[in-house]
Structure formats: C-alpha cells, structure tokens
Amino acid sequence: MTELSRRTALKRTGALAATAIAAGWLRPGAALAEWNKGAFESKTVADALKHLKIATPADTKDIVIRAPDIAENGAVVPIEIQSNIPGTKSMVVLLEKNPFPYAANFDFAQGAALPFVALRVKMGETSNVRVVVTTADGKFFTAAKEVKVTIGGCGG
Amino acid sequence: MTRALALCAAAAFIAALPVPPAAGQSKPPAVERDATTEEFEKFRAVLEADNPAELFEVKGEELWKTPRGPKNASLAACDLGLGPGVVKGAYVQLPRYFADTGKVMDAERRIVHCMVTLQGFDAAALAKQPFSTETRTPDPVALTTFVAGQSRGMKIAPPQSLPQERAAFALGREIFFYRAGSYDFSCASCHGEDGKRIRTQQLPNLTRPEQAIRGYQGWPGYRMTGGVMHTLQWRLNDCFRQQRFPEPEYLSDSLTALLTYLAVNAKGQVYKGPGIKR
Amino acid sequence: MAEPMKIRAKLEGDVLDVRVLMAHPMETGQRKDGAGNLVPLHFIQTITAQLNGKPVFQADTSQAISRNPVFGFRLKGAKAGDKLSITWTDNKGDKRTDEIVVGAA
C-alpha cells in the first residue's frame, strides 16, 4: 500500500471511529472495522474468550437462549437470545464443539437497540450454545443451552 | 457419533411403539407426532418466516420479466393454464392438459416449454443439468419457485375434468404402487403406510388425503442441506434414486403423472408457497 | 455484484422488530466442489445497521453463520418514516447496503 493511500485509509478509519465514538457505543479497544482474527481462529472457548479480553463470566439465568433441543439440520440451527441483564452492551455466541467455537459478537447501542438477537448457525455436532454478555460497566455473564445434532432424514 | 446413533435408535424405537386408538372416535386417528417431530415443528415456523427461498422467488421474477434467449423475449406471454401471462394461482391448478402440446404438463415442464417456444432456449441444454448445486441454480428452478410463490395461500386444485387429466392421475397411481428396482421398492414402500420413518424424519402416507399435503407442501423447497433450491422434479428424481430405480427423465410423462397423483390427493388443502426443507 | 437483502421491519409501539435475509454462500473453506477441490473461505464478517444515519447495531460474524444468513434484532425509539439501513461486508471485501423506510405500526 502506498504511503498516500495508507494515510487515506487511516484517516477514513479514524473518521469512522470518531463517528462511532460520538454515537457513544463503540466498544473499548477496538476500531469499528476491526474483526478479531485471534478470537475467530481460536480452537477452544477459553482461547476465544482470552482474545476477546473476557475474564471469567458469572453464570446467570438472566440470559435466555431459545434454540431447538434437537436441530432438524445442523446446517441451519435457529437461535434467539434475550438478555435481561441491565446495561447489556454486547453478546458473544460460542458453539462449544465447533472447530472454531467463536461464531459471532453483537453490539447494542445503549438506548437504541434492545439486548436481543436472532441468528442461524452451523453446528457440526451436539454441543452447548454458549452466550457471554458484557455490560456497560465491564462485567461478564454467561449461560448455555445444549442443542443436539443428529444424523438426519431423507431430505423430503 | 455413537451418541447420535443412540439417539436415532431411541427415536426410531419410540416411533415404533403402537399408539392406542382414542376412545369413542369414529374418524381415523391423527398421525402421532413423536417428540422429535414436535421439536422440529416448533422451530419450523421460525425458519419459514424468513425463508431463503424468497431470494430465489425474486430471482425467478426477474427471469420471468426480462427479455432473454435467442428470441430476446420475456415470459410475459407464457400460458400456465390460466391464460397468457397469468401467473397468480397457476401453480395450484397444475398439472393440467394443454391443447397446444396435447399433453398434461406440470409447472416446471410448462415453464421450460415456454422458455423453449417463447425465448428460443434449447430443451436438451436445459435437461443436461436441471438440478441445483451449491454454486448454481438453473433458471427453471428459480422460475418455478417464483411461479409457485404466486399461488401462496391458495387451495390446491389440479383439474380432473378432461380424460387426459384423469388418465395422468391413473398412471401416477399405478407408478406409485409399482414395485421394481434392485430393492423391489415402490413409492408406497415408504409412503403407502402410516408410521414409517427414515431416521429422524417421519414419512407421510401420501395415499391418505390428510397426509398427502405433507408431500406436496413446501415444494419448491429451500433445502438446508447445501443451501439449495429444489423443485418437485428434483424431489421425485431423488425418490427414484433412493428406491434404487433407474433415473427418470427430467420433465417426462411419468413424472407428470406422479405429480398429478400427488396433487389430486392433496386437493383442497391450502398451499403455503415455497418452503424450507431439511 | 452482491445480491440484495430482504429486510422486514415491524413496528410495535416504538420498538422496531427487524428481520434481514442476506444472500451469501458463507463458505467455510471446508467444502469440496464437484471436482474435489476445496471451495475457499468466503463469508460475511461485519454487519452494521443504522437508523436515520445513526449506528445502532453491529455484528462481527464467522463462517459458522448459516448460508443465506438471517438475523433478527430490535430497535427502540423508532417511528414510521425512519430510514433503516443495513450493510454487510465479507472477507473478500465485497459489501452490500440495503435500506427501507419504516412503515406505520
């Protein structure tokens, strides 16, 4: 990348970051466009959480995970997550037995987005779907739900 | 892997347990939904509410309206049985007899006929690789998905007023019960009795009107396996494969006959449009 | 050219329930094509949503998200006439933005 285009790129990132900071919801220590490669390439939940700078989360019943007990097809597992923890700022979704457990992170602008998300994931085998919530004051909470993934049917 | 097998074995065992008849009921008992099927049904509505099949409906509509092929024509003049260009409600009134071809034709077959006669596409080329893969959705598949979507919420009503249409139904029924191939299977081997299953999937008894809809509903369907769009032409082809039959010819009379049999059995039920399948 | 998303947004009071369906292969890099070759990794990495130009929701995603992804999220303080814009970018640098105008509750 030439010096000129690098400076332009940095300026652009800076401008984006400034907009996001002004909006008051940028998560600390990460630029708007940064995608956490270390976390996404982690092969264990523990490693992923380390890369995400998430310290040991406390178990909670205030994260409600709606997902099938048995997935009709492991390629499309529908999940809905609702956090009833006040000040929920972000949610991390980990599929514990997947080759790369860290599947997604969701950031909710305080006051603008409710702490709720629906997504569809690929699961290779029966495993826990684990959610870790980060609150605005920097605390971590977690809950999990098991989804069974089996050999299927006939495709009809 | 072992745990998954044990689970399947358990599910199969549970499904095989006899269901006692409800006391004082004169109607045939409703098909029991085992625990696994109940669980699938719970999330089926969630999956159907936002169905990737919609992406193919959009693609199909674009293909329908755009002038294409050697004749640089759209499909606006295509007659699906309700008059040239009438797409709404056409899918649920197929298969039907068409005087211009002298044949009973199903939806995909009629669409391909229009692509060939109105747009100048080559029939043999379309028949070469007619089914979707992860990377390619053939135009007739997207078009059939669009056309099917235009019958959403309507009652299945294939006509049986003409002798050719009734003959197609009779032939379809004969094929349905015809045992052949290395396993001596017929369609009825899997779909002719109550209580059959393949692993986690309960199989509908397509000879019963109230269950016939379960074979017809949801096609064309977005299959979660592979994320591909498939029509009934694919589904029947795959059934033949599973029966260890020779491969049926794409858009052939025998497939139209079978589709007529299935559609007539499902007559009167509401068609929900393109579905989502495992 | 990336295919358009389908956005459904239902207003209940001042909460906007949004469902978005995206057209994307979400290749894991593990799948083999017909010829036996591995299909390279190709997946959506970031999703952002803006209400009237203000960022309200963001997701970082992996190839573990299903093909032709569907996401749902809920926005507070929305009203009819608001503009909802959703953008995705993938690991190849492709991106797609679609917008809708929020209808009445």
Q: Are B199 and A75 inside 8 Å of each other by CB?
A: no
CATH number of the domain residue A141 falls in: 2.60.40.2470
List chain A residues with pLDDT less than 50: 1-33
Do residues A15 and A53 share a domain? no
Looking at the domain assignment, is residue A53 inside a domain?
yes
pLDDT of residue B31: 59
Q: Are C67 and B52 inside 8 Å of each other by CB?
A: yes
pLDDT of residue A155: 56
Looking at the domain assignment, is residue A155 inside a domain?
no
pLDDT of residue A32: 45
Looking at the domain assignment, is residue A74 inside a domain?
yes
Burial class for A22, CB neighbours closer than 10 Å (0-12, 13-18, 19+): exposed
Assess whether B239 carries a catalytic annotation.
yes
Do residues A26 and A73 share a domain? no
Do residues A22 and A43 share a domain? no
Do residues A12 and A45 share a domain? no
Do residues A28 and A67 share a domain? no
- What residue segments make up the domains of chain B, in order of their start? 35-277
Per residue in B36-62, pLDDT tens? 888 888 898 899 999 999 999 999 999
pLDDT of residue B27: 46
As for the ipTM of the complex, it is 0.96
Do residues A88 and A121 share a domain? yes
Q: Show residues of chain C in contact with A32, CB under 8 Å.
A: 58
Do residues A110 and A138 share a domain? yes
Q: Show residues of chain C in contact with A40, CB under 8 Å.
A: 60, 62
Looking at the domain assignment, is residue A154 inside a domain?
no
Predicted model pTM: 0.86
Q: What is the SS3 assignment for C21?
A: strand
List chain B residues with pLDDT less than 50: 1-29
Number of domains in chain C: 1
Please check whether residue C80 touches A, CB under 8 A.
no
Q: Are A152 and B40 inside 8 Å of each other by CB?
A: no
* Token representation of residue C18: 């949004």
Write a three-state SS string for chain B: CHHHHHHHHHHHHHHHCCCCCCCCCCCCCCCCCCHHHHHHHHHHHHHHHCCCHHHHHHHHHHHHHCCECCCCECCCCCECCCCECCCCCCHHHCCEEECCCCEEECHHHHHHHHHHHHHCCCHHHHHHCCCCCCCCCCHHHHHHHHHHHCCCCEECCCCCCCHHHHHHHHHHHHHHCCCECCCCECHHHHHCCCCEEECCEEECCCCCHHHHHHHHCEEEEEECCCCEEECHHHHHHHHHHHCCCCCCCCCCHHHHHHHHHHHHHCCCCEECCEEEEC
Of B8, B187, B190, B239, catalytic: B239
Q: Show residues of chain A in contact with C71, CB under 8 Å.
A: 117-119
Do residues A26 and A91 share a domain? no
Do residues A40 and A30 share a domain? no
Number of domains in chain A: 2
Q: Are B227 and C67 inside 8 Å of each other by CB?
A: yes
Domain span at residue C67? Answer: 6-31+39-99
Q: Which whole number is the average pLDDT over C27-53? A: 94
Domain span at residue A23? Answer: 1-34
Domain covering B35-277, topology: Cytochrome Bc1 Complex; Chain D, domain 2 (1.10.760)
Which of C5, C6, C22 is the best residue to mutate to test the B interface, defined by the most B CB atoms within 10 Å of its own CB?
A: C6
> Is there a contact between B131 and B237 (Cβ–Cβ < 8 Å)?
yes
CATH number of the domain residue C25 falls in: 2.60.40.10
Do residues A89 and A14 share a domain? no
Per residue in B129-164, pLDDT tens? 999 999 999 999 999 999 999 999 999 999 999 999
pLDDT of residue B19: 39
Looking at the domain assignment, is residue C17 inside a domain?
yes
Q: Are B199 and A69 inside 8 Å of each other by CB?
A: no
Looking at the domain assignment, is residue C85 inside a domain?
yes
Do residues A67 and A118 share a domain? yes
In angstroms, the separation between the Cα of residue B115 and the nearest Cα of chain A is 28
Burial class for B29, CB neighbours closer than 10 Å (0-12, 13-18, 19+): exposed
State the Cα–Cα distance between residues B104 and B167, nearest whole angstrom.
9
Q: Are B4 and A126 inside 8 Å of each other by CB?
A: yes
> Is there a contact between B75 and B143 (Cβ–Cβ < 8 Å)?
yes
How many CB pairs lie under 8 A apart between chains A and C?
99
Residue with tokens 């999703």: C47
Residue with tokens 């995608």: A35
pLDDT of residue B220: 98
Least CA distance to C43: which residue of chain A?
A103
pLDDT of residue A5: 46
Do residues A52 and A129 share a domain? yes
Burial class for A66, CB neighbours closer than 10 Å (0-12, 13-18, 19+): middle
